[in-house]
């Protein structure tokens, strides 16, 4: 990869301004990827480049003049049925940008930023634009720093590849009226993420120890939540997501063969979602090279996909499974590549998607590996068939129970489902914060009176996370606390 991002030096946006300061991209975005030492592309720099090339300076100046121009709205229509429109909305120091789908769905994806104004003595007229959160297809605003920055980079590159400065249909307006909160409900939600207390914890298994270093696959025990993770939480990776799915499926050899790169050269896995509008997942390993991702309804693979290279452990190592190094990513047929931020962000999103959609409960599993005998195949297929029948029966019972609730509440079932969801949420808030499994712990943090623990050992284990937010969390609603504490 030889692409090196270079910036154009302008009076408003100097090329030498620090990272996260918007700049005008001059060259270097390449389908084959960027040089490892290349500066990172960001969404604000992508927008700055588009406005600079459009050629009317005031469009650029008013966007970045947050002190005098309080509101700024931009939409550039793609003019193509299968290419999204671009939008930017700024209210004071809060900014959202992204794509609008053909169905007029905004934030497909979207990224939010917070502007840090420069002091009067600064040599820079425009301050730092810090990425805050991201959303896609209606998902809650949030995401790790890696994922948000990855989305920001992908957005900027899409603006470049599709030459949005050459689009003829541009809508732009700005005003110097008093700043308004933008937008009230979602921005509140976005800021709640900063107070998230969830941290990823791993199961300790013989094959995949919880203590193994970063980028070593592990089985996720808990901590993935749409409200986000604690800043010190371990990262979620694609290999850990796959390991979790295979562990929960319950047939150990599926997990062992995937991670036995020495003895099992080829490994192929596909789990079908069983839903028309949701993708299947796949894993392909050939020796030390691995690809994993989603397959869409058109049988297009890598939607997205992430590739890894396994670094085998030396014989003297305490770990049986080595490091899985993220290499590249692809989405919707784009060339394989991407910065480390973007590749890791895609891996994290893939791992979380496997968790949210509970792929271990999908009945249709196809798996093969090199060296299987006919007896091995017959035994595995019979086990998978029995498992599928069990899951189908559980699904039938679940649907039946839902229909019974629907009939019982006669049009109010959505309110009851919401109540059930809130009960489960508050139940998790009242459980031992160290995720040991205890649902009704008796110890409470003496300072905040919110976090609960079953033992001093669990409290000590959780302190490295809890101390960040101690005293800043909302307490559990009293009515739910009483309801849950009375439950058997």
Cβ within 8 Å of residue 278, ≥6 positions away = 357
Report phi then psi at 116, rounded to 5: -105, 105
pTM of the model: 0.60
Cβ within 8 Å of residue 484, ≥6 positions away = 423, 426, 427, 430
Which DSSP string do the residues of 23-37 spell out, in sequence order? -EEEE---TT-B-TT
Beta strands in 226-349, from DSSP E residues, in sequence order:
266-271, 280-286, 289-295, 301-311, 323-330
424/170 Cα distance (integer angstroms): 46
Tally of residues, the chain: 488
Task: List, run by run, the mean pLDDT of 10-residue segments along the chain (488 residues).
Answer: 80 93 89 73 95 90 89 90 88 93 85 92 92 84 87 91 86 63 30 52 93 95 75 88 95 95 95 82 96 88 93 93 94 81 87 88 93 94 93 87 78 69 75 84 88 90 81 68 58
Look at residue 193 in the predicted model and tell me its pLDDT: 32
What ranges do the domains of the chain cover? 6-195, 201-372, 422-486
């Amino acid at each position: 990869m030889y692409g090196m991002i270079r910036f154009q030096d302008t009076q408003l946006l100097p090329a030498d301004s620090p990272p996260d300061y918007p700049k005008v991209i001059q060259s270097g975005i390449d389908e084959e990827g960027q040089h490892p030492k290349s500066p990172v592309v960001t969404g604000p720099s992508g927008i700055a480049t588009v406005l600079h090339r459009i050629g009317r300076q005031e469009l650029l100046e008013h966007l970045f003049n947050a002190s005098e121009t309080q509101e700024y709205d931009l939409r550039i229509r793609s003019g193509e049925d299968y290419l999204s429109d671009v939008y930017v909305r700024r209210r004071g120091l809060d900014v959202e940008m992204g794509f609008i789908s053909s169905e007029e769905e905004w934030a497909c994806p979207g990224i939010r930023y917070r502007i840090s104004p420069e002091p009067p003595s600064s040599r820079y007229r425009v301050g730092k634009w810090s990425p805050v959160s991201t959303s896609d297809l209606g998902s809650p605003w949030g995401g790790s720093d890696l994922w948000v920055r990855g989305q920001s980079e992908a957005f900027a590159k899409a603006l470049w590849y599709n030459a949005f400065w050459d689009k003829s249909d541009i809508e732009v307006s700005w005003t110097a009226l008093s700043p308004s909160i933008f937008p009230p409900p979602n921005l509140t939600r976005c800021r709640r993420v900063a107070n998230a207390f969830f941290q990823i914890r791993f199961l300790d298994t013989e094959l995949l120890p919880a203590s193994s270093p970063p980028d070593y696959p592990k089985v996720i025990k808990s901590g993935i939540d749409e409200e986000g993770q604690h800043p010190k939480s371990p990262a979620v990776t694609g290999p850990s997501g796959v390991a979790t799915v295979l562990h929960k499926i319950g047939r150990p050899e599926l997990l062992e063969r995937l991670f036995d790169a020495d003895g099992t050269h080829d490994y192929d896995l596909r789990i079908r979602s069983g839903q028309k509008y949701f993708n299947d997942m796949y894993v392909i390993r050939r020796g030390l090279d691995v690809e994993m991702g989603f397959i869409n309804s058109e049988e297009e693979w890598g939607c997205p996909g992430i590739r890894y290279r396994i670094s085998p452990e030396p014989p003297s190592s305490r770990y049986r499974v080595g490091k899985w190094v993220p290499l590249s990513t692809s989405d919707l047929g784009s060339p394989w590549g991407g910065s480390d931020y973007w590749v890791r962000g895609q891996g994290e999103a893939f791992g979380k998607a496997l968790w949210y959609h509970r792929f271990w409960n999908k009945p249709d599993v196809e798996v093969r590996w090199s060296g299987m005998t006919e007896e091995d195949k017959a035994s595995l297929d019979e086990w998978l068939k029995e498992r599928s029948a069990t899951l189908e029966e559980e699904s039938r019972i679940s649907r039946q129970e839902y229909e019974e609730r629907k009939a019982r509440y006669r049009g109010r079932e959505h309110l009851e489902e919401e109540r059930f969801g809130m009960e489960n949420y508050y139940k998790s808030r009242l459980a031992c914060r160290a995720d040991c499994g205890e649902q009704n712990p008796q110890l409470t943090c003496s300072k905040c009176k919110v976090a609960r623990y079953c033992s001093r050992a669990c409290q000590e284990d959780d302190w490295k996370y809890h101390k960040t937010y101690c005293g800043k969390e909302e307490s559990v609603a009293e009515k739910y606390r009483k309801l849950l504490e009375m439950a058997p």
